[in-house]
Amino acid sequence: MGIRKTSGRGRLYSSVLDTIGDTPVIKINRIAPDHVTVYVKAEAYNPAGSVKDRLALNIIEAAERDGRLKPGQTVVEATSGNTGIGLAMVCAAKGYPLVVTMADSFSIERRKLMRFLGAKVILTPRALKGFGMYAKAKELAEANGWFLARQFETADNAAIHENTTAQEILGDFAGQRLDYFVSGYGTGGTISGVGRVLRKERPETKIILTEPANAALVTSGTAQERSIDGGPASSHPAFEPHPIQGWTPDFIPLVLQETLDNAYYDELIPIPGPQGIAWSKRLAAEEGIFTGISAGATFAVAMKVAEEAPAGSVILAMLPDTGERYLSTPLFEGIAEDMTDEEVALSQSTPTARMAAE
């Protein structure tokens, strides 16, 4: 094979926002079972590094179109990080102030990224869980007349996945098999938007939903208590803290409820957080695909599906984000900052710049 060449995208972009979407579907070559073909949809290729760039853009642009968001009005939202980062990018590009509320249990990198993009970040006590940061965002919006993004309830969330993510999947797999689609949920926007389309256009595709094993809200069968606007009225009783940041807040979002009510999934497979971490590390070290814990957890479920899938099956797993916003989380525990003994030995094996072990 000769040297790789590129020729550009054939267009010039008028804004960073125009680069959102059209993320690549990538084949897994080394760690998938031989009897199936596994692909991943790598949402880290969005400009702010996650699938939430899609909903952030649509929430703002839909509100601009119908007049809910006024020029220069402050936007406020509760987020575990990726939606806030996406909103910070969108608001920076469009000139809106942004205030984010986030539980202080989420990674430090997330709050720094949002502040770097110009947002203000209000931290809420981790003991109040996701419901606490949600309530704080609502309070700030009501007290100040700010625009509340409402990612967990707005129809603009699933709509963008119906019109972009799902259409990209249809296009990339046109004329080819797609036997399984695997996704976790945070707000539920991806699974609801893609589910609408796959049920209609690719009914043969089995949709696999996943959630943390120790915070299996959907699996519990307990309905979410809701306020009159569809938001959570309280924390869900089945919730426990889990390491899969971006997945499964301590309530069942209204956006996800569409999937539950309309049976947009064929099987629900809970996954322990440590398995997500392990598969994220394998994706990086053995495939060169750098993802976060939620992506690792989704891929872990895809591997479980692959084990039992008939020969020749084709599986697609959503990878929601990049791994760089997990540096201070358990994902990077055990990754040395200084040279390991093996690295010291390699350094000392040749004469130039030998270093003594500390």
Q: Which positions are catalytic?
A: 52, 294
Asked if 60 and 75 count as a contact pair (C-beta separation under 8 A), the reply is yes
The amino acid that residue 328 corresponds to is S
Query: Could you give the C-alpha distances from 160 to 165, 184, 196, 258, 347, in angstroms and in order?
Result: 7, 17, 12, 15, 51
Q: Pick the closest to residue 232 from 110, 132, 306, 85 (CA basis).
A: 132
Name 318's bridge partners: 41
* 195 Cβ neighbours under 8 A, 6+ residues apart: 207, 258, 259, 262, 264, 265
Backbone angles phi, psi at 93, to 5 degrees: -70, -30
Backbone angles phi, psi at 206, to 5 degrees: -85, 130
Asked if 190 and 318 count as a contact pair (C-beta separation under 8 A), the reply is yes
3-state SS track over 245-275: CCCCCCCCCHHHHHHHHHCCCCEECCECHHH
Asked if 349 and 355 count as a contact pair (C-beta separation under 8 A), the reply is no
Q: Tokens 């030995």 belong to which residue?
A: 345
- The number of residues in the chain equals 358
Strands 98-103 and 75-78: parallel
